[in-house]
Chains A and B, each alone.
Chain A
Amino acid sequence: MSTNNGEIDKSTWRNKVGLAEMLKGGVIMDVTSAEQALIAAEAGAVAVMALERVPADIRKEGGVARMADPLKIREIMEALKESKYEIPVMAKCRIGHFAEAQVLEAMGVDFVDESEVLTPADEHFHVNKHAFRVPFVCGCRDLGEALRRIGEGAAMIRTKGEAGSGNIVEAVRHMRAVMDGMRRLQSLPREELMAEAKNLGAPYDLVVEIAATGKLPVPNFSAGGIATPADASLMMQLGAEAIFVGSGIFKSEDPGPRAKAIVDATTYYDRPETVAKLSEGLGSAMPGLDIRQMDEKEMLSVRGW
């Protein structure tokens, strides 16, 4: 057979968005050790997020939250590679901290989360993600924020929610804002789209694209506050294409069964009988926080713009 193939292009935009496409319908779990990574993989996680502390602990302990120790990330990567699971490993860098992102890329991390969960390094500028070979995911609270991040090169968007809160209310608010924003664009006449791009603070070309398609050009996942199978089902029904679970698994009473139940509920999210069965006897979920009792300065989702 002939093998007259063309030149190889690595880490193209299609490769980056393509990996996000492959993660759809799945659950990405925060892990802080190799042992937790194997529990997550055994439960059926599509990827893990390698961290030093889960958001609930970052919130409790305070101080500056930075990129995890590369040794920690490497241990998790190696544990998965040696196991029969070879799921992708993600890691977080601080907003605007492109040097942390460079380190993560150099380590061979599969996806970088430029995350509001860590203490921002730059109060004005996010990372120019087009300059990297590794794909990025970024958080958003509404459509304008999502489109700014995609304009900068994010290959996946996740609604922020309120990380480490165990409370789904902010995730719902942000997902509804993104979906409402897209429905609104679809209803506008073409001549209003430039003014709308200005209002949203979003790139005009992306605004025009969404007015035509009604969909983000990259996958749209949900994060921040998911703690139960029903939470996952709720976010999928609201339009999420996959689920991030942070503190919700390893801050619960019995992480393994809960992780598995959330994986299954994300696939069968539209079948209440299945979600009901999956939700039985999982022990107690992580203790949650009432968002209305929190000061704005305690909230992680207001970081970034």
Chain B
Amino acid sequence: MGRRFPSYTHPTNMTLNHNIGVLALQGDFDKHIQSIRACGAATVLLRDPEALDAIDGLIIPGGESTTVGKLMDRFGLTAAIRRRAAGGLPIYGTCTGAIVLAKEIIGSDQPSIGAMDVAIERNAYGRQIDSFEVDVSIPAIGDEPFRAVFIRAPIIRTLGSSVETLSVCDGNVILARQGNLLVSTFHPELTDDLRVHRYFLDAICGNATVCVGR
């Protein structure tokens, strides 16, 4: 078991060292790759369990959660990601990513990693014509409002005590963190605003102590 300690404390330097895997089974992984690269970090398309060993952060993008869950199961990724999540690998899930990271998916027994102590309801705002965008406040990334894009979005219904709320919209938690895990029910990758991705790289990947393997 190897350990990797962060060697910098200056946020702008840290992103340069990161190699971020983006789960590329189905969904808008291209958009996340563009965002992460624009932050100055390297990316790798992740479709194999073996490739998990070479990354120091993982993004699970938006997509269709049942499709992504099935593909993760069929190709041996669910258990492998669960192991790495428990070992401290920084993981950021957007929308479908938040769903497959959740401990409980309300009304479904679909495959999931189950690492984040939340219960989440899929497609909880209605059909596509109810999809929306709105300016939200995220104190952890600064005072400027963030344009949050919601597409057939889920709602986090309950949070465990170890989960920290980072942003709320209309009474619903839309951005939350549990140690090395970050989830949002909106899609920062669909805007040019990189602050949420930077937060993931600097505050979570930058301070992570990752146990590799097992």
Q: Report A's interface with B, CB cutoff 8 A.
A: 1-12, 14-15, 18-19, 21-26, 41, 44-47, 84-88, 105, 108-111, 133-135, 263-264, 266-268
Top 5 nearest A-B pairs (CB, nearest first) are A6-B135, A110-B128, A21-B28, A15-B131, A25-B26
B160 at the interface (CB under 8 A from A): no
Q: A19-B128, A87-B64 are in contact. List 7 more A-B contacts (CB 8 A).
A: A4-B137, A14-B133, A14-B149, A21-B27, A21-B30, A86-B123, A87-B67
Q: Which residues of B contact A85 (CB under 8 A)?
A: 66
Contacting pair B66 A84 (CB below 8 A): yes
Which of A5, A45, A84 touches B108 (beta carbons < 8 Å)?
A: A84
Interface string of B17-35 (1 = CB under 8 A from A): 0000000111111110000
Which of B24, B27, B29, B129 touches A134 (beta carbons < 8 Å)?
A: B129
Contacting pair B66 A6 (CB below 8 A): no
Contacting pair B129 A10 (CB below 8 A): yes
* Known pairs A21-B28, A24-B26; A46 contacts B190 (CB<8 A): no
Chain A contact residues: over half helix, strand or loop, or mixed?
A: loop
B74 to chain A, nearest CB (A): 7
The CA-CA distance from A46 to B64 in the complex, in Å, is 6
Contacting pair A10 B31 (CB below 8 A): no
Task: Count contacts on B: residues with CB < 8 A to the other chain.
Answer: 53
Contacting pair B190 A18 (CB below 8 A): yes
Contacting pair A19 B63 (CB below 8 A): no
Contacting pair A44 B71 (CB below 8 A): yes
B67 to chain A, nearest CB (A): 5
Interface string of B98-111 (1 = CB under 8 A from A): 00000000011110
The CA-CA distance from A14 to B169 in the complex, in Å, is 19
Q: Which residues of B contact A135 (CB under 8 A)?
A: 128
Q: Which residues of B contact A12 (CB under 8 A)?
A: 132-133, 149
B47 to chain A, nearest CB (A): 7
Which of A8, A84, A87, A264 touches B134 (beta carbons < 8 Å)?
A: A8
Q: Which residues of A contact B26 (CB under 8 A)?
A: 24-26, 46, 266-267
Q: Which residues of A contact B128 (CB under 8 A)?
A: 11, 15, 19, 88, 110-111, 134-135
Which of A2, A21, A45, A268 touches B62 (beta carbons < 8 Å)?
A: A21
Q: Report B's interface with A, CB cutoff 8 A.
A: 24-31, 47, 62-64, 66-67, 70-71, 74-75, 95-96, 107-110, 122-123, 126-137, 139, 145, 149-152, 165, 167-171, 187, 190-191
Q: Which residues of B contact A7 (CB under 8 A)?
A: 134-135
A165 to chain B, nearest CB (A): 26
Q: Which residues of A contact B169 (CB under 8 A)?
A: 3, 5
**Residue of A whose beta carbon sits closest to that of B148:** A5
Interface centre among A14, A108, A134, A263 (most CB of B within 10 A): A14
Q: Which residues of A contact B31 (CB under 8 A)?
A: 21
**Residue of A whose beta carbon sits closest to that of B138:** A1
**Residue of B whose beta carbon sits closest to that of A12:** B133
Q: Which residues of B contact A6 (CB under 8 A)?
A: 134-136, 145
Which of B71, B150, B171 touches A3 (beta carbons < 8 Å)?
A: B171
The CA-CA distance from A141 to B84 in the complex, in Å, is 45
Contacting pair A25 B27 (CB below 8 A): yes
Interface centre among A25, A264, A266 (most CB of B within 10 A): A25
